[in-house]
Amino acid sequence: MNKLFKFIKKRSSFFLFAAVTTLLASSANAQVYNNADSVLIRRLYDEVLQSEEMDANLRYLTSHIGARTAGSEKAQRAVDWLRVRMSGYHPDSIYLQPVMVPHWVRGEKEAASFTTGGRTIELDLSALGGSVGTDGTLTAQLVEVKSWAELSSLSDEQVRGKIVFFNRAMDAREVETFKAYLLAADQRAKGAIAASKKGAIGALIRSLTLAKDDYPHTGAMSYDAAVKKIPAAALSTNSADKLSEALKKDPALPVSLQMNCVQLPDVLSYNVIAELKGTTYPNEFVTVGAHIDSWDVGEGASDDGTGLVQAMEVLRVFKATGLKPARTLRVILYMNEEAGAHGGVEYAKQASTRNEHHVAAIESDAGGFAPRGFRIEASPEVTAKFKAWALLLAPYKAGDIQPQQRGVDLVPMKGTAKALLSLDCDDSRLFYIHHSALDTYDKINPREVAMGAGAMAAITAL
């Protein structure tokens, strides 16, 4: 027994020594590899964090151009300015990619009210992007619902000639507010269609925010060609609560609604694209992007002004540090993400026509808040490679790699690019300002935007 114990102990010591030796050798090799990447990433972050260029770009975009709905004069001004600005960073090429986009105009500010107890209560609302107008004042009773099941349970007779009031709030129990937003956004996107199918003549939707205030949050809605178009607007959360309380006291309460929006013919616009030619694989592409357009309320600072300046910053930083990419870096500033992703669709179409080889497509459209990491859509093998790089980004608080990328303009590249990645940010504050008049430069923290740009540059370089 003692001999056996000594033999096992001797063998265990040998295997332990071998394992430790192998581990040390592997660690040494990994350390050499990681050190080179760490130095590169530190250099990129240093350039971003010490420069005021990106913040100056965002201030100019928000104060001199402001809100830039697709198809508008301000959207074209943004295209022209972005082209000139990126030209100043001396890319190998820069060009405009034509794309036809819808042109929706809000018109004179919308209004809504109801009368109770001899008092007229004004409601704070915002027409949803793409909605038709009311053609004067529309007055009708309401039907309040908080789920699709509630709407389905109502007969057509109960809904016909009325306005459906979708009052389902974002779920405050969701730790990740972006998830709460996605789970509630269906009523904004499809509410008008579902209501019209039952004979409704209008739709009001509770704003997609956890805030309790008087600021309505707009956003895209959709129509079905086979279903009559009815006007649709978002109510501020305070107005939604007031209306809900009033309906409890008077279920037959009428509401008056006036919306002056109109859908004009599609217009020609552009994606703005700049390139740095790859030194080793010039016909392989890594793209970095954000969207130019915003809604017509606020200044489009967070959505997606921060993403725009971050994408531009990747180009500037590569040039400023003398970094020459092995693959061609293509910075794409897309037009009309908000109302149909026409720019993203057109880019993917052209890339497919040219049979281009895209290694990765990256986008920033998460509000410009403190970065956490990236969300990825790729094969398990490719995902594993990005997760291996997470340690390099961890010192900058951007090492969290999660599934399910959220870049709308990247969706058309699915199946074309090996990896789709969206910058993932802390979303605690995003939906307090999202798509509302509160989306202004003063709500932005330049340091957080800079940290996000550093993460974008780092993942692009890797």
pLDDT in tens, 401-452: 999 999 999 999 999 999 999 999 999 999 999 999 999 999 999 999 999 9
* 294, 77 contact by CB (below 8 A): no
Helices (H), 340-445: 342-353, 380-388, 390-393, 430-433
Question: In this predicted structure, what is the pLDDT of residue 18?
Answer: 38
DSSP 8-state class, residue 305? I
Which listed residue (53, 313, 337, 363) is catalytic? 337
| pLDDT higher at 13 or 385 | 385
**Read out DSSP for 15-72?**
HHHHHHHHHHHHHHHHHHHHHHHHHHHHHHHHHHHH--HHHHHHHHIIIII----TTS
Question: In this predicted structure, what is the pLDDT of residue 33?
Answer: 52
Nearest to 230 by CA among 162, 142, 151: 162
Q: Is the pLDDT of residue 144 over 90?
A: yes
Question: In this predicted structure, what is the pLDDT of residue 27?
Answer: 40
Residue 32 pLDDT level (bands cut at 50, 70, 90)? very low
pTM of the predicted protein model = 0.91
**Read out DSSP for 354-369?**
TT-EEEEEEE--S-S-
Kindly report, residue by residue over 211-231, the tens digit of the pLDDT: 999 999 999 999 999 999 999
Question: In this predicted structure, what is the pLDDT of residue 117?
Answer: 85
Question: In this predicted structure, what is the pLDDT of residue 382?
Answer: 96
**Read out DSSP for 200-218?**
-SEEEEE-S-S--SS----
| pLDDT higher at 12 or 202 | 202
Kindly report, residue by residue over 5-22, the tens digit of the pLDDT: 343 344 444 333 333 333
Kindly report, residue by residue over 253-286, the tens digit of the pLDDT: 999 999 999 999 999 999 999 999 999 999 999 9
* 248, 303 contact by CB (below 8 A): no
* 394, 333 contact by CB (below 8 A): no
Q: Is the pLDDT of residue 1 over 70?
A: no
Question: In this predicted structure, what is the pLDDT of residue 23?
Answer: 35
What is the token pair recorded at 376?
A: 């990825």
Kindly report, residue by residue over 317-352, the tens digit of the pLDDT: 999 999 999 999 999 999 999 999 999 999 999 999
* 167, 244 contact by CB (below 8 A): yes
Alpha-carbon distance 207 to 124, whole Å? 10
Q: Is the pLDDT of residue 4 over 70?
A: no
Nearest to 216 by CA among 291, 135, 112, 369: 112
Nearest to 85 by CA among 407, 343, 333: 333
Q: Is the pLDDT of residue 2 over 50?
A: no
State mean pLDDT over 370-394: 96
Nearest to 434 by CA among 167, 170, 145, 104: 170
Question: In this predicted structure, what is the pLDDT of residue 96?
Answer: 98
**Residue 108: is it exposed, middle or buried by C-beta count within 10 angstroms (0-12/13-18/19+)?**
exposed
Question: In this predicted structure, what is the pLDDT of residue 29?
Answer: 39
Beta bridge partners of 119: 116
Q: Is the pLDDT of residue 298 over 50?
A: yes
Residue 118 pLDDT level (bands cut at 50, 70, 90)? confident
Q: Does the annotation count 110 as an active-site position?
A: no
Question: In this predicted structure, what is the pLDDT of residue 58?
Answer: 98
Average pLDDT, the chain: 93
Alpha-carbon distance 174 to 369, whole Å? 19
State mean pLDDT over 180-203: 97
Alpha-carbon distance 228 to 224, whole Å? 8
Q: Is the pLDDT of residue 169 over 90?
A: yes
What is the token pair recorded at 55?
A: 């913040």
Kindly report, residue by residue over 64-106, the tens digit of the pLDDT: 999 999 999 999 999 999 999 999 999 999 999 999 999 999 9
